[in-house]
Amino acid sequence: MRLRIGLIVILTVALATGLAGPATADHTIKIGGQCDRTGATKLVGVEICPGIADYVKLVNKKGGVLGHKLEYTEIEHGYLVDRGVEAYERLKRDGAVAVFDYGTPIVYALTPRHMEDKIPAITPGFGRADSTDGTVWPYIFPMAASYWSQAGAAMEYIKQKGGKRGTKVAYLYFDNPAGREGIPIMEAVAAKEGYQLRLFAVPSPGLEMGPQVIDITRRFKADWVVGHLFGRSPSVSIKELRKAGFPMDHVVSFVWGAGEADIEAAGWDLAQGYLGMQFTSPGRSLPVIQEIIKMFRDEGKEVPAYVGGVYYSRGVLNAAVVVEGIRLAIQNFGLPVTGEKVKKGYELMKNFDLGGFLPPMTVTPTDHEGGGWVRLYQVKGKEWVPATDWYRGYREEVMAQVKKVNDVHKAAAKK
């Protein structure tokens, strides 16, 4: 397993370079995002969306981006595609120059609009993996490990833990476009290594998993389970696998089954040893989280319990990435800020890690994913504990799949 230690910079440096600006600047920059605080993924939305809003607030309190304030609009869509499209259209009418999409089915629905409108969307940890290649999808930015990279990393961990020809791997996934997204890489790596791979689909809403777990544990007799579930279904999988006697330290979850809320819903005692994938570092000791905590206290407000948690931290990452893209857009291309300039700003990001908050991310026109780094954490006691350093797995297979799918897109576009 290739491991990499993130470059550490001091948050104050990031704030100084990203937030300080001319006193006379007054160009307000509009950005927007969708959120699900009421639908199938509200367990994530109620934490990730405040993370975005709090970081934007912090930036504005420090003077904005190079002196320009941000105006952030959040629109609830309940994880429904039609409402997600409506939300995007409203943000566009309001003048947003950069947006956060929320939900893989919604990203697929909105892709043609982003391309036509030239308004860049970021989709950290979800969305369409083929958009890693920005020469084909110039206005879609995964900005964190795609589902293909997550699948490669899960299989890399299995290999490092003794996986060999004949090892049985069960892929337990939510049966929607997001859940199915990881299948090509699971299949490619299984074929390369000689693993026995079986797919176990969980239909929406993902609250019944007994039959799949019986198949996994009694008939297939899996050695490992790779879970790609979200919403309430990760907790159901933990309960069912534990009930069947499956070892939790042989369950590797993609990123949306790896939050504190997932484990609390299952029960910390039941989840001991469970492995979850992260693309940001959780915890309250990180400088940017300390800045946010100070902001709450300076305002005389109680710090919410979720601050510093897994999903909240990902919201902070979302906002920080957009802020960095806007900073680079202003610095290199001037005012007024447009979607096209923000897109170019994203593609100038180099070794961005927000003070050790995330693996060093470099984005280029040919890599909108930023490298595809992840880290595994493990449930121990009542917290997530690092189980690996930052790493990625089967990068050649991932990038080959990106090329294969995009070659098809290019050929279709020429017809």
- Quote the CA–CA distance of 33 and 121 in Å, as a whole number: 9
Q: In what order do the strands lie in the sheet with 224-228?
A: 196-202, 168-174, 224-228, 251-253, 275-278, 375-380, 383-386
The dihedral formed by the CA atoms of 348, 353, 354 and 355, expressed in degrees to the nearest 10: -140
Buried/exposed code over 136-167 (b: 16+ C-beta within 10 A; e: otherwise): bbbbbbbbbbbbbbbbbbbbbbbbeeebeeeb
* pLDDT recorded at residue 25: 53
Amino acid identity, position 273: G
How far is CA 277 from each of CA 121, 228, 259, 381, rounded to the nearest angstrom?
A: 23, 10, 9, 18
In the block, which residue shows the tokens 């280029």?
Answer: 364
What is the per-residue pLDDT for 18?
A: 47
Q: Which amino acid does the sequence have at 164? A: K
Do residues 278 and 255 make contact, with C-beta atoms less than 8 angstroms apart?
A: yes
- Burial class of residue 190 (count of CB atoms within 10 Å of its CB; 0-12, 13-18, 19+): buried
Q: Is the peptide bond before 205 cis (omega within 30 degrees of 0)?
A: yes
Q: Rounded to whole angstroms, what are the CA distances from 344 to 144, 292, 335?
A: 18, 28, 13
The identity of residue 360, as a single letter, is P
What's the pLDDT at 151? 98
Angle at 14 between CA 11 and CA 16, to 5 degrees: 110
> For residue 11, which phi and psi values (nearest 5 degrees)?
-55, -35
Q: What is the pLDDT of residue 356?
A: 86
247 neighbors 272 (Cβ within 8 angstroms): no
Phi and psi torsions of 189, nearest 5°: -70, -40
Widest Cα–Cα separation across the chain: 69
Q: What is the pLDDT of residue 355?
A: 87
> Please, what sign has the CA dihedral across residues 132, 106, 329, 351?
negative
Distance in Å from the first CA to the final CA of the chain: 42
Would the pTM count as exceeding 0.75?
yes
Contacts 24+ apart (CB under 8 A), 285-289: 286/313, 286/355, 286/356, 286/357, 287/10, 287/11, 287/12, 287/355, 287/356, 287/357, 288/11, 288/55, 288/316, 288/320, 288/354, 288/355, 288/357, 289/313, 289/316
Cis geometry, peptide bond prior to residue 336 (ω within 30 degrees of 0): yes
Concatenating the DSSP letter of every residue in 299-348 gives TT-PPPTTTTSHHHHHHHHHHHHHHHHHHHHHHHH-SSP-HHHHHHHHTT
- DSSP letter for 286, please: S
**Given this model, what pLDDT does residue 26 score?**
66
CA distance 244 to 264: 20
Averages of pLDDT over each 10 residues, the chain, 415 residues: 36 42 67 97 97 98 97 98 98 98 97 98 97 97 97 98 98 96 98 98 94 97 98 97 98 98 97 97 95 98 97 97 98 97 98 90 97 97 96 97 95 84
- By the 8 A CB rule, do 22 and 256 touch? no
pLDDT of residue 20: 45
Distance CA 130, CA 127 (A): 9
